[in-house]
Amino acid sequence: MSKSTSQLKNVPKKTKSSNKLPNLRQIKTLNAYNFIDLGAGDGASLVNIERIIGGNGVGVELSTKKVQKAFELKRNVYQGNALDLHKIPGKVDFVTCDNFLEHLLTFEDVYSMLEQASKVARKFIYVRHPSFENVDYLKSLGLRTYWSHWHGHTAHVTIKDFVEMFNRLGIYDVKVVPVCKIKDSTDDKILPVGAPIDQHDYDEQMHGKKPKVKFDRDLYYAFDIIAMLPGNENQTPKLLYKDRLTKTSHPFFSDYELEIKDIQKQVRKLQREIDGFRATIAYRVHTRFKRVLGR
C-alpha cells in the first residue's frame, strides 16, 4: 500500500531546540498546500482526507502530545492556534474540521474558527460534527447520546446554528448530509439519561436499564457539512460522498476517546473473569464443605 502525500513530503522538522515541536510559525506560505485540517490531532484525519481527495494537506493542532505523536508518525502536523492562520500569507483550496469544533468552549469560538477558515480557503469548508439535534427529545424519553454528555464536548452546535454562522460570513450554499441513522434506543450509542459522564457504548451492567423506544423522528450520529465559498456555488466536492473519513474508527472517536473505550472493555472483561473466578471458588468451597459434613 502506498503512503499518503503527508507521509512522504513536507514532513515538519523540529526546530533548533530538540525539545520543540514543529510550529505553525515555520510555515512561510499556505500556497504550498491544497488543504488545511484544523484540530488535526495526530494527523489521522489528514491522511484519510488525502486518500479520498488527493493533494497535499497540512494539519494544525494545539496539543503538544498529539503533535508529538504526529511527528513520530511522520505526518505533516504543526503545533499552533488555528486562529493565527491569517498571519501566514497565501491560501488553500479548502479547510476541514473533522470532529473538532465541538471541543471549543463557546459558540462564538466556533464562529471565529469558521471565520478564520473562510479567510484562508478558496473553495469550501468541510465540517464533520456530532449531532446535537434531539437532546431534549431524547431526555424526555429518559435517554441521551453518549457524546451529548462528554466532558470535552462543550460546543453543542446544531445544523441550524451552523447555517446561521455561515450566513453571517456571507456563505449561503451549505450542503448537509447525515451520517449513520439511529433507528431506536437499542443502538449502543444511546444511553440512559442517568448514566455517568464520559461513557461510550451502552453496557447494562455499568449504565443500568434503558427504555426500549422506536424513535418517531430521524436521529443520526453526526452530520457532514460543506459550505461552498462565494464563486464556487452549485459544486459538490468528492469529500461529501464518503460515509466516513476515518475508516479505522468510529467517525467521531478521538484518540483519547478510543483509549478510554478500550480501557472500559478491558475492565468489563476483567470483571467477568473475576466473577467467574469467584463462582469457581464458591463452588469448590461448597463441594468441599459438603464432603466434610458427609464424613
* pLDDT tens string 117-142: 999 999 999 999 999 999 999 999 99
Domain ranges for the chain? 5-253, 254-295
- Reported as a pLDDT band with limits 50, 70 and 90, residue 252 is very low
The DSSP letter of residue 281 is: H
Buried b (16+ CB within 10 A) or exposed e, 230-262: eebeeeebebeebebbbeeebbbbbeebeebbe
pLDDT beyond 90 at 113: yes
How does the average pLDDT of the chain come out, rounded?
Answer: 84
Q: Give the CA angle between residues 85, 160, 224 to the nearest 5°.
A: 60
Reported pTM: 0.75
pLDDT beyond 80 at 247: no
- Reported as a pLDDT band with limits 50, 70 and 90, residue 242 is very low
CA gyration radius, the chain: 23
> Which whole number is the average pLDDT over 170-177?
92
Quote the longest CA-to-CA distance of the chain: 94
Is 5-253 assigned to CATH 3.30.750.200? no
CA distance 173 to 235: 9
H helices present in the chain, as ranges: 5-8, 44-53, 64-72, 107-120, 135-140, 159-168, 204-207, 255-294
CA distance 270 to 53: 43
